[in-house]
Structure 1
């Protein structure tokens, strides 16, 4: 027994450029590898470490003392994070769920008796909710994007990469960030965000709408989702979506930059994932984001990998830590990488 629902998409309008920021000095960025294998990187030296006479290779990264990854709690919110989650959830009505579903999302109900064991699916009464999607060509290497969390233009691009189910290597560029903001000026000639580099084609560009048009043309079916095709209205609602977390994920906090980017399984429409992204951006920590919105085949991959599907899920190649639970992930990241 099965019933199905398909969500349509539509064309693109252009919007506006974003803000500029003062120049500063930079060392070098991490590098990416294929999205199907663990990410590797070169050693990176932060501006703070240069001042202290240190380099990434001389800094040891270990979990906090007595650290133990928490057990995942399905649909649970830690009491002290209730208002944070509510604030992050305001984006959902403003953006009508854009970034929650993968392109060509389809859902069907299948009897539990007919559903293969070991396959990820939601339970609904005596049925399993089977979710599928229609994906375009897959890039061999992750797309690279320089951006920051509390920018409406950047949010638009994060939404389309969730829709297209792309893995992206993010280089956070918070205000006054000493490492990757200046790198954007070096590469593109101006400090404007978002800035995208596609290592698969050699294409690099500014302008959120141009990036969206490029990505749907190269890795999608060429059509832009409705909520990303409304020009100025798209940008305004993307800005309103951030009201509940105003200012979070925008200002730089000193950190120890690790030699390898962190890896996070997440997607733009999740308020839990947003809290983790905020701290990654503020600490200017490069991270490979493995998008797994509803309908993504990567949900099955994480289910097989961790024995459970829940996001956000963090894998830190610098310490070997793997963990669920957004509040605890935030605490772990700050304890491990923030300069006290």
Structure 2
């Protein structure tokens, strides 16, 4: 199920969408993130379409500093096509309001195209949403240069300016490392303010070029010129109208993902495969932000080759898909992911 959402530097204003204040506490996520290079990186991704979706069992490994590789096993949740759990209908409907208000921005990658090709000519390890009369739907885009290291973004859900930047991330099909900055968060909000000198979000750091900046429109321009073809989608270039609709798109979620919930910090960032317009991905992102959990975000808008990557990895394509290298857990199904995050990290 593909549904969209989106979202100028988010000056900390007290509105339904901008929950901003800070506490002077500062805790660093130690450079444990570098551990991802030495440990097997697990990728997370998912969506509401499945092909051959049997449950699998995996052993928990790399449980984090101080914990041994382990003896427990965790069952990967069974992906279910277009399934909404009974207690999640209102959440999904609220998240779905963004699609019409933002005209689907972020649902398709730059240069998206689709065609029907004979099934015999399509590689069996390539994901296809549908097969009709012996022909498979083939979707692709025209990605620009890929950043060697993930772009770092300090931002939070519930901020229309942050949403705008998340939308261009999906359009450009780039992977980013999100450092959530919810109101009262003791870790990354103070860190971003210390680095940039302003109480304003989003704040971007590009470790590939050494560039860092505020202002959502400036970030969008930079990313499209550096990692795209230089063109900014119309829906992200309408000035105040873009910001207003990005704010309205979040009304259905009533500011969720904006205020900190006390939580333990993981040794390593989690990994999430998702894309901005999906309401299923939206509610998982809200929980990650509330718990202030840093996470690698693998963009999987329509036309992204990372849909094929996930399909080859798991045998299905469905988002959101979460992998936690700290516990060896990998999961489909948004409701179950949210429960896992709450049980594992909330204090």
Deviation of 1:317 after TM superposition, in Å, equals 0.3
Counterpart CA distance in 1 for 2:284 and 2:201 is 20
Deviation of 1:29 after TM superposition, in Å, equals 3.0
1:172–1:307 Cα change, 3 Å: same
State how 1:20-169 maps to structure 2 within 5 Å.
Answer: 21-31=21-31, 57=65, 68-126=75-133, 127-169=135-177
Contact 1:253–1:282 (CA<8 Å) still a contact in 2? yes
Name 1:329's counterpart in structure 2. Answer: 337
Name 1:232's counterpart in structure 2. Answer: 240
Counterpart CA distance in 2 for 1:235 and 1:38 is 40
1:150–1:61 Cα change, 3 Å: farther
State how 1:291-310 maps to structure 2 within 5 Å.
Answer: 291-310=299-318
Question: For each residue in 1:195-252, what CA deviation from the matched residue of structure 2 results, as whole angstroms up to 9, or x when unmatched?
Answer: 0000000000010000000000100001101100000000000000001101100010
Q: Size of the alignment, in residue pairs?
A: 308
Counterpart CA distance in 1 for 2:110 and 2:171 is 5
Contact 1:106–1:133 (CA<8 Å) still a contact in 2? yes
Name 1:18's counterpart in structure 2. Answer: 11
Contact 1:62–1:336 (CA<8 Å) still a contact in 2? no
Contact 1:248–1:278 (CA<8 Å) still a contact in 2? yes
Deviation of 1:116 after TM superposition, in Å, equals 2.5
Deviation of 1:118 after TM superposition, in Å, equals 2.2
Contact 1:39–1:261 (CA<8 Å) still a contact in 2? no
Name 1:186's counterpart in structure 2. Answer: 194
Counterpart CA distance in 2 for 1:38 and 1:177 is 29
Unaligned runs of at least 5 residues, structure 2: 1-7, 13-19, 43-63
1:102–1:38 Cα change, 3 Å: farther
Counterpart CA distance in 2 for 1:130 and 1:216 is 25
Question: For each residue in 1:68-92, what CA deviation from the matched residue of structure 2 results, as whole angstroms up to 9, or x when unmatched?
Answer: 3321101111111111111100000
Name 2:60's counterpart in structure 1. Answer: none
Name 1:7's counterpart in structure 2. Answer: none
Deviation of 1:30 after TM superposition, in Å, equals 4.8
Greater relative CO (CA pairs within 8 A, separation 6+)? 2
Name 2:320's counterpart in structure 1. Answer: 312
Counterpart CA distance in 2 for 1:62 and 1:25 is 34
Secondary structure in 2 matching 1:122: coil
Contact 1:27–1:179 (CA<8 Å) still a contact in 2? yes
